[in-house]
Structure 1
Amino acid sequence: MTAPAVSWPRSREALALPLFFGLTFALSWTVWGFRIAETRGWTTLHLPQLLAFTALPTAALLTAALTGGRVAVLAWLARLGRWRVSPRWYALALLGLIPVGGLALGLFRLGGGNVPVGTGLTLAALPAFLLNETMFMLLTEESGWRGFALPRLLRRMSPLAAGLLLGGVWGLWHLPLFFIPGEAQALYSPAAFGLLILPTSVLLTALHLRSRGSVPVAALFHAAFDGMFVLLGVGHHPALMWWLVLVVWLAAAAVYALGGLRPTPQSAGGTRLFPAPPEGVAAR
């Protein structure tokens, strides 16, 4: 019996994720590889670090054009420009991490730890940090991870599996930064960082589903997470980072238990905390 032929457009789409991940890692790791070599005196060639982050939109745009043509490119750009979503998702992205960071800090201090909050980033400087970081993440990391990769993963697997898988890839992508002196990651425990990014990716997946795939919402959450991290000085206190790992896992578990990763029909009394995602998102 002859196997059914696979259409060329469908086969090209199947290559989208491997091509995107391959280009992203090749471009970013090349820049970081030269930076590592430069710090060790193996080369005098200096590549701006910004190039490593622009690898994500570059890879997303090229892959979309090659595998899906104009339709895929426009769909990607639409997610990047999807600002008009319910204000509650912006509020959740911006403020939802306050109890997470507060609980982690409280547990750390109950255990005898002490950290001067605001040393790395003051509250007065926080608004400017959030604005700059949101725009940076919108145009770099989130344009690729949640703007391009996550929608395609969601077509193949459950939201929980997609969030965890993308979190693993996202964490691995940061690996060279642990070997570059002066980079923030060089101060962190690789194990703690890896275990922290997995549930963070799950939380971002829930926001992606509820905000109709809005990359600006994801970028705001990413900026808020980084702001919390710097404000609390997590990177300078290994024990605090492990407490944060625990609390973020608990937050991800709570979101899953509340139905944040699956369609939830509207009740007679109105919309629930996590309403059903837009049509076209499969329930798993």
Structure 2
Amino acid sequence: MPKRAIPLFLAMTFLITWGVVGFYVLAPELASSWFGPISGLHPLFFLATWAPAIAAIVLVLSYADGAGLRRFLSRLLLWRAPSGWVVFVLIGLPLVFMAGSLVKNGPVLAPLPPDGAGPMVAVMFMMLFLGPIEELGWRGVLQPLLQRHMAPIWAGALIGAIWGFWHLPAFYLAGTVFGGWNFLPFFIGNVVLAVLVTPILNRTGGSLLWPMLFHWQLINPFWPDAQPWDTWILAVVALVAIWWKRETMFTREGAVTQVIPSLPQAAPQVAR
């Protein structure tokens, strides 16, 4: 996939998301009359959220057809990861939210709805097919392309800034969770998270599974609201990770640069 795929990816991603959300922001009554009120469960909200993945799939198909798409999606099956990162994603991230909530005198876990844990479990699994799907674009296409030209830390920080800016229209959208948040801590948090997930992507050889699980933990409804303390705690964790992985974060050596994994090389035929 050539370098010119970067502006194409960004153009498609922003056009879809900002087009959908912008319609509801600029013409809310007209949009609601045509498509119904927007919410986190609305099909157009899913479309806006999936824009990076849609752009990624379109680009992969345009450059490498169906076989290339299968190889691209095979990165979802790269499950091997260092035990330290596994513990961080599965246990460390929840602890960050719990600690941040406790700092602001909040609960250890998010309060259960009147119907009990059942609806929360349903939302938790639904979230697996919402935000994490974005990673097909951000970490699947954009990061490998950027890491061909810059060190991973700068690629991660740039994606974080783009990722945060991409969310901006949602902060003006009533009926979604973003409507009650402050944009600046969220933007900083996106940069922090994108830098933090970078060594996970590279250490796992370009796995999409682990960035998706990382993203899933960020929106798990069981974890309490810890803003803005979760951002500051994760910023400290990111600084530690940058120092710990400084030999690979500031050099392109060993960075994942392939969007579509290469076919295995066939064994050479021996002439008889």
Using the size of structure 1 for normalisation, the TM-score is 0.74
Pairing 1:178–2:167 present: no
In the alignment, what sits opposite 1:161? 154
Pairing 1:105–2:78 present: no
In the alignment, what sits opposite 1:85? 80
Distance 2:255 2:185 in 1: 35
SS at match of 1:13: coil
5+ residue gaps in structure 2? 36-42, 258-272
Which residue identity is paired with 2:130?
F
Distance 1:135 1:14 in 2: 29
Deviations 1:173-196 (A, max 9, x none): 111111111111111001111111
When the two chains are superposed, the root-mean-square deviation of aligned CA atoms in Å is: 3.1
Distance 1:257 1:194 in 2: 22
Pairing 1:33–2:27 present: no
Q: Is the 8 A contact 2:78 2:204 kept in 1?
A: no
SS at match of 2:165: helix
CA distance 1:14–1:99, change in 2 (3 Å): same
Q: Is the 8 A contact 1:196 1:245 kept in 2?
A: yes
SS at match of 1:232: coil
5+ residue gaps in structure 1? 1-11, 235-240, 264-276
Distance 2:217 2:21 in 1: 25
Aligned-pair distance for 1:69?
2.5
Deviations 1:103-162 (A, max 9, x none): 3234333xxxx4574226787766554443234344x31111111111111111111101
Of 64, 80, 105, which aligns to 1:69? 64
Pairing 1:133–2:119 present: no
Pairing 1:246–2:239 present: no
Distance 2:140 2:241 in 1: 21
Alignment of 1:170-209 (within 5 A): 170-209=163-202
In the alignment, what sits opposite 2:51? 55
Q: Is the 8 A contact 1:38 1:45 kept in 2?
A: no
CA distance 1:21–1:69, change in 2 (3 Å): same
Alignment of 1:114-129 (within 5 A): 114=106, 117-119=109-111, 128-129=122-123
Distance 1:145 1:251 in 2: 21
SS at match of 1:181: coil
Of 224, 242, 245, which aligns to 1:259? 245
Using the size of structure 2 for normalisation, the TM-score is 0.77
Q: Is the 8 A contact 1:171 1:194 kept in 2?
A: yes
Percent of paired sites with the same residue = 25
Distance 2:50 2:164 in 1: 17
Deviations 1:31-54 (A, max 9, x none): 112222453457732272222123
Distance 1:185 1:137 in 2: 13
Distance 1:105 1:53 in 2: 27
Q: Is the 8 A contact 2:49 2:130 kept in 1?
A: no
> Relative to structure 2, which stretch is displaced further, 119-128 or 16-25?
119-128
